[in-house]
């Protein structure tokens, strides 16, 4: 970034006055703070094509799931849903895609290699098992699994069939700053990772929520639902292949009118690669311009990384994908808005080549196991 660009960035970030007496050259040489664009390698060109379908449109994540597969070379050939509004919105996004008469029509269609599923959460794992036993790979919206019994069924089906039960942990796989943080960790930019801290606040928007949203038996609980994203990140960034829950809390702090709902949860985990802390909630205030101020801290032996994924309220920077890294030499701000999202092309290649570039199967299911066990042992928050 040139001197004029850096000065403009600082002005927009509200820092220009602070550094007005420091020339750009002196500022850069001080090692105190530098501004960069992410130096990320572009995703390899798509080299495979597959046919896929969608079943269940109960969560809007289905749009980004299908878009990712299409980016990777997937042809969306059909979908199944029964709600007229969901059907209309889906076709607005993806065109006049064939509406199947039933789930079975898709599951029995031998030309379809992959099913993307986002029905009500407690229906996702059983759907995936049926798809795998029909010879298809499956991509579930999170939470892909809502009970330990479902987890056992999924693991057995994976072993019996050799098919994939992938879970779209979008807060890592589809967030550009999270992708780049993974590249930095693999490069050893902050040494060995010791701990991750994930904060996952969400906006309630109660009037817009369906009835199942407030029923723990349908969505699995707040740690199972939102926390599955964070458990995935803990395992990925610490490179843990084994992990357990140390402690957890869940509760309904503010919404007594929804007795089956959980609005707050946190958990501590330890793995063979590091430790992790997660806090999730439904308390994003109306004054925030986006749905949640999601943040991730990655502590290493030689430095640390902070992600402000969706907004940075501490500056005038717009949008998200803000990455801050401090190492032995300097502190840097890295703009990750142009980082490629590799999941789609990698996942389609995995389906064709039977590899695991996009997502490790065992790690995906271990993330689900951690949050399910956390829900099981969780105690009420202090004072509730």
50-168 against 172-342+373-377: fold identical = no
Distance CA 382, CA 367 (A): 26
Mean per-residue pLDDT for 177-203?
Answer: 98
- Give the domain ranges of the chain: 3-30, 50-168, 172-342+373-377
Quickly name the fold that domain 50-168 has: Rossmann fold (3.40.50)
pLDDT value for 32: 56
Are the CB atoms for 226 and 278 separated by under 8 Å? no
pTM over 0.75: yes
Q: Kindly give, in sequence order, each residue whose CB lies less than 8 Å from that of residue 197, ignoring residues fewer than 6 positions away.
A: 276, 277, 278, 296, 297, 299
Distance CA 274, CA 246 (A): 13
Pick the CATH number of 172-342+373-377 from 3.40.50.2300, 3.30.360.10, 3.20.20.140, 1.10.3720.10: 3.30.360.10
Q: Which residue has the tokens 């699995």?
A: 220
| Token couple for 107 | 């599951």
Neighbours of 175 (CB within 10 A): 24
Are the CB atoms for 217 and 122 separated by under 8 Å? yes
Q: Indicate the pLDDT class of residue 382, thresholds 50, 70 and 90.
A: confident
Q: What is the largest CA-CA distance in the chain?
A: 70
Residue range 112-150, pLDDT digits in tens: 999 999 999 999 999 999 999 999 999 999 999 999 999
Residue range 47-100, pLDDT digits in tens: 899 999 999 999 999 999 999 999 999 999 999 999 999 999 999 999 999 999
Residue range 257-315, pLDDT digits in tens: 999 999 999 999 999 999 999 999 999 999 999 999 999 999 999 999 999 999 999 88
Distance CA 54, CA 66 (A): 8
């Amino acid at each position: 970034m040139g001197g004029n660009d850096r000065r403009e960035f600082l002005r927009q970030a509200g820092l220009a006055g602070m550094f007005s007496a420091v020339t750009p050259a002196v500022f850069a040489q001080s090692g105190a703070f530098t501004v960069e664009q992410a130096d990320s390698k572009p995703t390899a060109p798509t080299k495979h094509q597959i046919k896929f379908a969608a079943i269940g449109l109960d969560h809007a994540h289905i749009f980004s799931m299908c878009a990712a597969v299409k980016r990777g070379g997937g042809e969306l050939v059909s979908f199944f849903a029964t709600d007229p509004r969901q059907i209309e919105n889906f076709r607005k996004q993806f065109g006049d895609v064939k509406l199947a008469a039933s789930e079975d029509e898709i599951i029995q269609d031998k030309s379809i290699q992959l099913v993307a599923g986002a029905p009500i959460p407690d229906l996702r794992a059983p759907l995936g098992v049926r798809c795998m036993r029909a010879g298809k790979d499956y991509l579930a919206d999170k939470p892909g699994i809502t009970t330990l019994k479902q987890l056992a069924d999924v693991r057995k089906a994976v072993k019996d069939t050799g098919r994939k039960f992938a879970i779209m942990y979008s807060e890592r796989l589809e967030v550009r700053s999270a992708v780049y943080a993974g590249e930095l960790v693999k490069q050893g930019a902050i040494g060995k990772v010791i701990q991750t801290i994930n904060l996952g606040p969400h906006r309630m928007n109660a009037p817009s929520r369906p009835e199942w949203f407030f029923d723990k038996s349908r969505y699995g609980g707040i740690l199972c639902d939102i926390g599955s994203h964070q458990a995935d990140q803990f395992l990925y960034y610490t490179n843990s292949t084994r992990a357990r829950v140390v402690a957890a809390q869940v509760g309904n702090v503010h919404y007594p009118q929804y007795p089956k709902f959980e609005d707050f949860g946190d958990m501590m985990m330890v793995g063979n690669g590091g430790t992790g802390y997660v806090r999730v909630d439904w308390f994003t205030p109306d004054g925030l311009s986006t749905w949640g101020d999601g943040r991730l801290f990655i502590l290493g032996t030689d430095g640390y990384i902070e992600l402000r994924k969706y907004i940075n309220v501490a500056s005038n920077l717009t949008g998200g994908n803000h990455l801050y890294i401090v190492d032995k030499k300097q502190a840097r701000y890295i703009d990750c808005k142009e980082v490629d999202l590799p999941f789609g092309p990698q996942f389609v290649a995995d389906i064709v080549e039977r590899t695991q570039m996009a997502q490790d199967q065992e790690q995906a299911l271990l993330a689900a196991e951690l949050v399910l066990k956390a829900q099981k042992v969780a105690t009420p928050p202090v004072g509730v």
